[in-house]
Structure formats: C-alpha cells, structure tokens
C-alpha cells in the first residue's frame, strides 16, 4: 500500500518554494463544464488533459483550471471557456483530450485562439 509518508517528503521538498499564484485578476481561467451533460459527453478526460497539460508545461502560476455547471448549451458539450484577463471570453465546444492539448499549446502558451474549435 502506498502510504502518506511519501506525501510528507513532498511537503518537505515543497516547503518555502510554493510560489503564490499571481493575483486573481492576472490569472487565465480555464473553465470546464462538469454538469450531467458535460460529464456524459466526456468532460472528465478533457478536464484531466487541461490539469495535466498545465502542470506539464509549467504554466500553473498563470493558468487556473476550474469547473462549472451547465451553461445551457448541452448539445455542444464538452464545453471549455477560457477567460484571459483583459480579453473576451473564448468558448471551445465539443472538446476532447486531444483538442485540449492543442488549445494548451496554441492558445494558453502562444496566445492564438484555435478558431476551429470555438463557437462563433
């Protein structure tokens, strides 16, 4: 069985080096719809892809991945909204884990909206 001891070691290592995330208004928010419609359409792998991708690329200090309920466009789920400070909200529809990786690379890192996947 994996024990909690390992977590203690992580805690020791992290101590003091956990940089506080930027003030909330400087953070880009990635919001994944996780109501029944989203989950049934496959939101969990999309959410996981964003969480893992953001960690992997080391942009966790600038990007926050969160969830929301149903926003009323169930047939376009999984829906992901990206809110960058000072910019208009971008809504991606019918997302998959693959598309999520692309959105991380192109939108979150390079700042280019992937318009193939947005709703217009």
Partner 1 sequence: MMTEISLNVLDVAQNSVKANASLVEVSVIADTNANKLTIKIDDNGCGMTEEQVSQVCDPFFTTRTTRKVGLGVPFFKEAAENTDGSFEIKSKVGEGTQVTAIFTLDHIDRMPLGDMSSTMHSLITLNKNIDFVYTYTVNDRSFKLDTRELREILGDVPFDVPEVSAYIMDFLRSNKAEVDEDLIF
Query: Given the complex with partner 1, which of 46 and 103 has the nearer CB atom?
Result: 46
Query: Given the complex with partner 1, which of 81 and 113 has the nearer CB atom?
Result: 81
Least Å from the CB of residue 68 to partner 1: 10
The H or E element that residue 45 is part of is helix 43-56
Least Å from the CB of residue 67 to partner 1: 5
Query: Given the complex with partner 1, which of 66 and 115 has the nearer CB atom?
Result: 66
Least Å from the CB of residue 75 to partner 1: 11
Query: Given the complex with partner 1, which of 1 and 86 has the nearer CB atom?
Result: 1
Distance of alpha carbon 92 from alpha carbon 117, whole angstroms: 5
Hey, is 5 helix, strand or coil? helix
Least Å from the CB of residue 110 to partner 1: 21
- Whether 95 contacts 79, CB under 8 Å: yes
- Binding region for partner 1 (CB under 8 A): 1-2, 4, 6-8, 10-11, 13-15, 18, 34-37, 39-40, 44, 47-48, 51, 55, 60, 66-67, 69-72, 74
Angstrom distances, CA of residue 53 to CA of 36, 62, 80: 24, 13, 15
- Whether 41 contacts 73, CB under 8 Å: no
Distance of alpha carbon 76 from alpha carbon 80, whole angstroms: 10
């Amino acid at each position: 069985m994996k024990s909690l001891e390992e977590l203690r070691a992580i805690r020791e290592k992290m101590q003091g080096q956990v940089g506080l995330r930027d003030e909330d208004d400087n953070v880009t928010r990635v919001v994944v719809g996780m109501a029944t419609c989203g989950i049934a359409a496959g939101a969990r792998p999309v959410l996981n892809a964003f969480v893992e991708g953001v960690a992997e690329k080391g942009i966790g200090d600038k990007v926050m991945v969160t969830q929301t309920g149903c926003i009323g466009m169930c047939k376009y789920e999984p829906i992901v909204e990206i809110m960058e400070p000072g910019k208009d909200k971008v809504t991606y529809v019918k997302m998959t884990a693959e598309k999520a990786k692309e959105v991380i690379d192109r939108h979150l890192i390079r700042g280019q909206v992937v318009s193939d996947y947005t709703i217009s």
